[in-house]
C-alpha cells in the first residue's frame, strides 16, 4: 500500500515537473518572438525615420509620378508652344499689314498715320527682339567645380554647388542661377541672364495687344455686324433658292474677300483682347515681384520665413531688395539716366549686374540696405 502511494506520488511529481518545464519553454518562446517583433519594428523605423517628414512631404511623394509626367510633357511640348507663339503673332502681323494698314492709309489723317506707323513698328521690333533673346539666351548655370565658390550649399538632385538664389529645374534637370520659373512658351528657364528679356517681352506684347484692341474696336464692331448680316442673308438666299423651279444658283451676296476681311478683323480683336488680359495679369504679377526684389520661387520661401519669424517676434528683411526704385534700376540695368532710352526703350543686349554667383551691392543703388534676414 505504501509502495503504491510512493509510486503515485513520484508519478505526480514527474508530471508536474514536465508541465513546469513545458510552461517555461512556452514562455521563453513567446518572449523570443516578442523580442524579434520589437527588433524588426525598430529596424523598419530606423530605415524610414526622418525628422523633417510631415504631411507636405508625404503629399509630394504621392504626387511625384504626376510631377514626373508634367515635367516630361512640358519638356517635349516646349517646341510646340514656341511655334504656336510665332504662328499666332505672325498671323496678327499679317492681318494688320494686309487688311488694316491699307484702310488706315486711306481714312486716317497724316498725323495719325505717322503715329500708327512709328508706334506699331517700334512695338513689333521690341517684341521680336526680346522674345528671340529670351528663348536663345541661357539663364545661367553654376559651375560644377567648387574651387572658386565659397559659402555655397550642394544641390541634392544634381550633386553640384548651389549658390544663393539658385534652384534646381526638374524640367531642364540643371540648377539655374536666380531661377524664377520654367516657361513652356519660351522652352527655356527664366533666370539671371534672361529674366529681363522675359519681362520685357511680356510687357511689350501686352502693350501691342492693347494697342490692337483699342485701335480695332470700331472695325471689330462693324465686322461683327457684317458677319451677322452675312449669316442672315445666307439663310434668306437658301430659302429663296429652295423655292425656285430652276437649277440656277443665285449669286452670293458677299464676296470671298469681304468674308475673309471681316472674319480676320474679328479674329484679331478677340485674340489680342484675350492675350492682353491673360498676359497683362502675368506682367503685373512679375512687376510686383520685381518691385519687391524677389523671384516667383523666393516669394514662397520669403513668405514662409516671414511667418516663422513673426511667431518669434522678429521682422523679416529681404537681403536682395534695395528699395522699389533701385530694384527696378538693378533689374533693367540702368546705371545712368541715358540708359532709360538706350537700354529700356530701345533693344539692348546688355548683361545684368553681377554673375549670379555672388550678390554684391550694384553701383546704381543709392542706399545700401542691411543684408539681414531678421532683426
Task: Please state the rounded mean pLDDT for residues 8-27.
Answer: 62
Does 84 map to a domain? Answer: yes
Does 39 map to a domain? Answer: no
pLDDT band at 53 (very low <50, low <70, confident <90, very high): low
Q: How far apart are CA 219 and CA 100, in angstroms?
A: 9
Task: Please state the rounded mean pLDDT for residues 161-171.
Answer: 88
Q: What is the pLDDT of residue 340?
A: 94
Beta carbons of 352 and 196 less than 8 angstroms apart: yes
Question: 47-66 burial, b if ≥16 CB within 10 A, otherwise e?
Answer: eeeeeeeeeeeeeeeeeeee
Q: What is the pLDDT of residue 31?
A: 79
Does 8 map to a domain? Answer: no
Q: Which three cell numbers stand for residue 189?
A: 528657364
The beta-strand segments (E) located in 218-349 are none
* Higher pLDDT pick, 252 / 164: 164
Nearest alpha-carbon partner for 174 in 71, 79, 76, 59: 71
Q: What is the pLDDT of residue 246?
A: 47
Does 349 map to a domain? Answer: yes
Q: What is the pLDDT of residue 15?
A: 64
The beta-strand segments (E) located in the chain are 153-154, 161-162, 167-169, 174-176, 181-183, 188-190
Q: What pLDDT, in 10s, does the model give residues 201-260?
A: 999 999 999 999 998 898 899 988 888 888 787 777 666 665 655 455 555 567 778 888
- Distance of CA 275 to CAs 101, 185, 213, 316, Å? 21, 13, 10, 36
- Burial (CB < 10 A; 0-12, 13-18, 19+), residue 9, is exposed
Q: 178: which DSSP letter?
A: T
Q: Residue 80, SS3?
A: helix
* Higher pLDDT pick, 59 / 142: 142
User: What range does the domain containing 204 cover?
Assistant: 62-358
DSSP 6-66: HHHHHHHHHHHHHHHHHHHHHHHHHHHHHHHHHHHHHHHHHHH--TT--HHHHHHHHTHHH
**Phi and psi based region of residue 12 (left: phi greater than 0; alpha: psi -120 to 50; beta: remaining):** alpha
Does 278 map to a domain? Answer: yes
Q: What is the mean pLDDT of the chain?
A: 83
Q: How far apart are CA 191 and CA 355, in angstroms?
A: 12
pLDDT band at 78 (very low <50, low <70, confident <90, very high): confident
Is the pLDDT reported for residue 138 higher than 70? yes
Task: Please state the rounded mean pLDDT for residues 147-165.
Answer: 76
Beta carbons of 271 and 208 less than 8 angstroms apart: no
Q: How far apart are CA 261 and CA 221, in angstroms?
A: 13
Q: What pLDDT, in 10s, does the model give residues 274-318?
A: 999 999 999 999 999 999 999 999 998 888 888 888 888 888 888
* Parallel, antiparallel or unpaired: strands 174-176 and 181-183: unpaired
Does 367 map to a domain? Answer: no
Q: What is the pLDDT of residue 181?
A: 92
Does 5 map to a domain? Answer: no
Other Cβ atoms less than 10 A from the Cβ of 335: the count is: 15
- High-pLDDT (> 90) share of the chain, %: 42
User: Up-side HSE of residue 47: CA atoms within 13 Å toward CB?
Assistant: 6
Report the number of distinct structural domains present in the chain.
1
Q: How far apart are CA 359 and CA 237, in angstroms?
A: 72
Ranking 66-75, 81-90, 320-329 by mean pLDDT, the lowest is 66-75
Most confident of 20-34, 185-199, 232-246: 185-199
The beta-strand segments (E) located in 170-232 are 174-176, 181-183, 188-190
**pTM higher than 0.95:** no
- The residues annotated with a catalytic role in the active site are 183
User: Up-side HSE of residue 254: CA atoms within 13 Å toward CB?
Assistant: 19
Ranking 129-143, 144-158, 271-285, 333-347 by mean pLDDT, the lowest is 144-158
Q: Residue 360, SS3?
A: coil
Ranking 58-72, 140-154, 199-213 by mean pLDDT, the lowest is 58-72
Beta carbons of 286 and 299 less than 8 angstroms apart: no
Does 353 map to a domain? Answer: yes
pLDDT band at 72 (very low <50, low <70, confident <90, very high): low
Q: What is the pLDDT of residue 49?
A: 62
Amino acid at each position: 500500500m505504501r509502495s503504491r502511494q510512493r509510486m503515485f506520488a513520484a508519478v505526480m511529481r514527474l508530471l508536474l515537473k514536465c508541465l513546469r518545464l513545458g510552461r517555461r519553454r512556452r514562455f521563453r518562446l513567446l518572449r523570443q518572438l516578442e523580442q524579434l517583433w520589437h527588433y524588426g519594428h525598430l529596424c523598419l523605423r530606423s530605415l524610414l525615420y526622418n525628422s523633417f517628414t510631415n504631411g507636405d512631404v508625404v503629399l509630394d511623394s504621392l504626387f511625384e509620378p504626376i510631377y514626373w509626367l508634367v515635367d516630361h510633357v512640358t519638356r517635349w511640348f516646349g517646341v510646340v508652344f514656341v511655334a504656336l507663339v510665332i504662328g499666332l503673332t505672325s498671323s496678327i502681323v499679317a492681318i494688320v499689314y494686309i487688311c488694316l494698314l491699307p484702310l488706315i492709309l486711306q481714312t486716317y489723317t497724316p498725323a495719325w498715320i505717322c503715329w500708327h506707323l512709328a508706334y506699331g513698328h517700334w512695338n513689333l521690333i521690341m517684341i521680336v527682339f526680346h522674345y528671340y533673346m529670351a528663348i536663345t539666351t541661357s539663364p545661367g548655370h553654376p559651375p560644377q567645380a567648387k574651387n572658386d565658390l565659397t559659402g555655397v550649399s550642394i544641390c541634392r538632385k544634381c550633386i553640384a554647388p548651389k549658390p544663393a538664389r539658385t534652384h534646381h529645374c526638374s524640367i531642364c534637370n540643371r540648377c539655374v542661377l536666380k531661377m524664377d520659373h520654367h516657361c513652356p512658351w519660351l522652352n527655356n528657364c527664366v533666370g539671371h541672364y534672361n529674366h529681363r528679356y522675359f519681362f520685357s517681352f511680356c510687357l511689350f506684347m501686352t502693350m501691342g495687344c492693347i494697342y490692337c484692341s483699342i485701335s480695332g474696336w470700331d472695325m471689330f464692331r462693324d465686322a461683327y455686324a457684317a458677319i451677322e448680316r452675312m449669316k442672315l442673308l445666307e439663310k434668306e438666299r437658301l430659302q429663296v433658292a429652295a423655292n425656285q423651279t430652276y437649277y440656277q444658283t443665285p449669286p452670293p451676296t458677299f464676296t470671298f474677300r469681304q468674308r475673309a476681311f471681316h472674319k480676320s478683323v474679328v479674329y484679331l480683336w478677340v485674340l489680342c483682347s484675350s492675350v492682353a488680359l491673360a498676359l497683362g495679369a502675368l506682367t503685373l504679377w512679375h512687376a510686383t515681384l520685381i518691385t519687391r526684389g524677389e523671384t516667383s520661387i523666393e516669394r514662397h520661401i520669403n513668405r514662409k520665413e516671414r511667418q516663422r519669424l513673426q511667431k518669434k517676434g522678429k521682422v523679416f528683411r529681404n537681403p536682395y531688395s534695395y528699395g522699389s526704385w533701385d530694384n527696378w534700376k538693378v533689374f533693367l540695368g540702368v546705371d545712368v539716366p541715358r540708359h532709360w532710352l538706350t537700354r529700356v526703350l530701345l533693344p539692348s543686349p546688355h548683361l545684368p549686374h553681377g554673375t549670379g554667383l555672388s550678390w554684391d551691392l550694384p553701383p546704381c543703388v543709392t542706399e545700401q540696405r542691411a543684408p539681414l534676414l531678421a532683426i
